[in-house]
Structure 1
């Protein structure tokens, strides 16, 4: 069955010589889009843009789908199946390019331009031009159609010009005179058309007509453009005046066609994925990034710069895209590896690259000038006006690539590990940053290398390999090479090697096959200072870093540290993330870490000391803003060169702690690894308030475990007391009662041994809370009263207020509401007098609980909401969760079910965020049991039974 799809005239589908009814213009427009892009997926949104333009119909996507269904049905009726398929979020026309006239046209033109036999070349061009049946895409009118039509007309005009040149060379001037006269009338200022007509007239014995036409053109150029004819046309005029014998008809069979370079290497056979990146390169070529739906402006040079770390797949992407788009570059393709980052360390000189291009374009290598500017000018002249693709691979920098940029009309693809900023600024290069593969793409790469059967047999090991390689293409390729050369070894063994040995497994004696070697080439253009910073960033605590921490890590002033970060980012060794964060790919960081171990020990230790002290001293400032009533601890002076971050207020402090929490945990690990015991327990102290307010209960336990180990190495008995006290409280918060009481009693024994009544009071307060978790409120009340008695003798009004609230809370839990209200009201007076919002919030929450259990639900709602307002202002999400939990009960008792549901729903979300699973399950039951009728107030302990730690334990 012969299928012929036509756009070089009216859009038609002809099957076995019979035209298929394609419906109305919009349907033909949909088919035209797919025909022009035959074999390439057209995204649905792109299809809508091309068919409807800037003002699509309301249901354009659905209409497009309907039109495609109708087209499929029409083609199916003609006996053609499976031509249009939905694929990857779009549609694709699956036909042999030979079935599409525009693709046949382009192939024939490309073959003609590559053909050295002039007769054969002319035949090919005549066949190509014979495919045109009038105006391309006739009868259709959208912005995209208009742009494609203009582009196709330019291709037709150029092909006709080449055809006429060849026909003139072969002495067929007489047959061309009529056509050339019409072309000259249609294009009166085109000097190539004029030159062809002049030559044909002269060879036909009409020298006078040729000279007259030249004079008319010269006058018209002067009047309309204020210009003279170009040098080539002027030379032809002079030769006609002189009746130059060389203008005579050439002998048959002499001469050669222009040289069309084909330097592009083959596309990588195992390329996978990168669909968005390939689409971005398509958009850059068509100009869709600038103005959707319109092709690139005629005569412009399109430059795309593909950037990314070593081994990330820049060259593979460039070659894949280039080979898929060969039809767009009929005048040839130039390619050079500029060796910017290679084992030799010697980048290719621009002059050598230009000489290679000139030789490929047909210039005599022995007669080329030495001067780079002259070479570059000659190169630009030879490709001017042509549609040539220039691929500059592995560029060292903009200064190396600038002389290799053509003047106009060409397309340039550059790959580099640097950002090529000046090319972006001066030449409008479009930067495409290449990252690691997605998991699906990385797995597909392994499937291509290892085979579907082997991957399916060890699916879990394959997924682990993908993640251990960090989805880095070169790491995956090396791993695949190991696996393919050892087919009997299970993939799980390779995964185990990567887990245990890391970067060592990806090394090789062949530098090009070694990830560490490939990464090392990125450092050659860095200064010593930048290389040292790169190494130190590898061992910096935390998943990423910001400018302030970098300044302390490196010991550099902020301005220099900023410049270093920018240089490393430009060399694709760092990724800049939102909010001023910088991160490394895991394998790049592993490589940086190996370099850090090569630094002198004192230099490395000093850098780690600075960055730990940066986090410690900044966190200490944040802690003072979170809880100014808390007794401060005295820190050692920071290591010289440390520049702690300034924090102005409570919101700033909370935001900084939220962002840097993983870095602070990592800083404590770093301090422990380097036996900085004092810093370990100080970091635990500075994080305590934040952890308890944000509900980071497991992290709180971990930091105090580390602090307790560190305290055992210190002679500071106060540190040991603090460590056991806070470790006990962390265990209690997680419901580990026996461990909690064990550590709290050890802390109490230390405090009693050293006659420290303040510590004793605080420990009794926490013991009360620990017994509360077991719902033993009598023991809890006994410890709370003991704490209150001690604090009254110490004249510490703020702490006395917390102790009063604790006593009141446990009285309420035991049903003694009068004593409870009396103690809590006394506590509220002290908290407000001493401007203690945390204690005030906790006490208002206690009063709300007491009100609810004494039938004063309106007062309960008011007290809980006041407490909630204070907790929100403090950023205390733990307090918010508990208060919301309790607030729901008086709302439910007042038949305010929507308010109860809203409070419990928010409490549930906070409990889940904080990992408080038991509380979350309880609130879920409360939501499920919420009934429209009023429920009676239950006995003490049935409503809002979650213990919230009366007395605000982050203060103790």
Structure 2
């Protein structure tokens, strides 16, 4: 009936159905209705009461308008902490809250361009002829030396006023004076002109900071609040300078500001950020007339003044005393040595009269651009179309369709004219105002067809070089990637797996931005192909980026009606979701992909999905279901003539057989796989097969044979840079030493494996090794250490649904408590272990059952 509010559902909204941020916000609105539709004010009051009780200071409490904003669709970034607080107020069930946390993890860490940010552990290059700002620099220096207080200096001012240059110069001075011994720098893109480059998510910036500070990826929590807390822990006891450039608002930078003594944050923003209660604000204005004159005199000391003795003052006035405009004019003066300063002043006056240019920057840009050689004008216009935060000379050559040397010379000249800025080594960027001006000129001077061709050359460049890098890193997987034509423009000389990996690591944020840009601006095929090409690189290591890339690919393939491309993108996305902890949504997408592959008659695609479904069942401990999936995958790979897939399926079947205690059958399967890997030259697969053969040899009581297999496996894994394979082999070496009673050596191997697994973010392997460390510590009588290892292993295994590792942890805890005389606790853990072992159907179930009868018969 009209005017009647919708009747709330009997069950609360299911956040697991959300696929986008807008979906999640709609679910939150429905949850609010389900909870009786309390007002925003009521929700705010309840949240603040809970936060106050938890010890939060008044400065961190939320406001009604901020809460209401969480229900607004069209947002590009969510405050996870506040979002979950709203959910908890509306439905305070821990299990239900966990569903929302998982949905935020999957959706929030998915396709958002806000998650793309480049974090540096060094400052950008200092300005050689930095002038003025004596008051600001003196104040910053005095504040920075007060290490007993937490100081934040917010540098606010209009675009082009020199905020970043001031912060960078101040940072270099502080580092040279040894006030700080470490620096973190990030451009937060608060006011980027390209809509595909929205303000960076503070959670992504924190992840970057933590990785730079040495925290392994797997140890970095997903929630913003937890990441911020870990960041503060990492800074404690250090003297770290944190430079947060181009901040959008206080919410963006608040989690990134150091809250420990001895550290300082320099924040640049076009806003005052008055909401930062602990900040010392420093408003940066244009140069004073004397500073502007001093800047010009220092920058061009040999310039001839000419007939007008006041020429320098006139130039400074016409530039509005704006540092960016003055820098551009300096570039023009240096490039026209036959002109006097009086000539420049008169020309500025003429342009101002003729074009009525009131902005100093616009006037300076016009003059700087007008007198460039045509090739440099064109290069500036076209690199401004680049969707990433920065670029290298090869990308510039691609977009301009010029040779490398010509491009390098042109970029150097544009840098000398301050139209392009040097960033990290061999990287270049544009000031936002220069980019906006150049994009405008491109729109006026380059026909849409030419601009589109330039962007397509750039996309072709990234696709071709990515394909070359992946062929070097994973040659045996080449037949699974789409055929990509070689680059037609200059490309970096990738000639080794190390060089390929270095290029991919450097360009990773750019590649994700390129995928987003291609999807949004009419190149869906590039999006789909980049998803497939980059799968092995992103898989398991860069999970958030993988989710982003494959989500865009799913949308693009569906939009252009490419069912096979959509099936591949779905498979890749499901794999990323599985690694983020979402087994159920992964299974749903795998199922959809399997149907599409069947409809297309793609046997290899079907087999791949079946193998991945088998992996989920194996991780869950459902070994019978895993075996069925692996056998079907093997049959289809054989029919498709995919030798690599066949070997992988044989290896997977062998692992299940080994888990079930059927070691002889496992050896036969492993040897078949090893023979195929060697025939096709897949050294990664060969190392994996040798490793599992070594593990089975340990269980069969053949230590000499095991040592031979494992040494070969370790050498191969390190040669090809397979870190997971290296960790797995180190783990098996630990098992071997433990079987031989060499507990110290076993612990050393396990610890090396654990460090690698944590670094690459492999929770299942981490749980396995932690259980093994617990076994070794317990065997050595170190019950407290064993208890810690088993407890950590159980927490991880429970979180990812790995029942076999849960069973191992519970059995280990039972033995520890029994060894400490805590029989009631021991019995409880043994019973839990038995339940898990029975569910997965492994031989350990009978062992635990017999042990319970023998050890706990009458008294328990």
Q: TM-score, normalised by structure 1?
A: 0.45
- Larger radius of gyration between Structure 1 and Structure 2: 1
TM-score by length of 2: 0.50
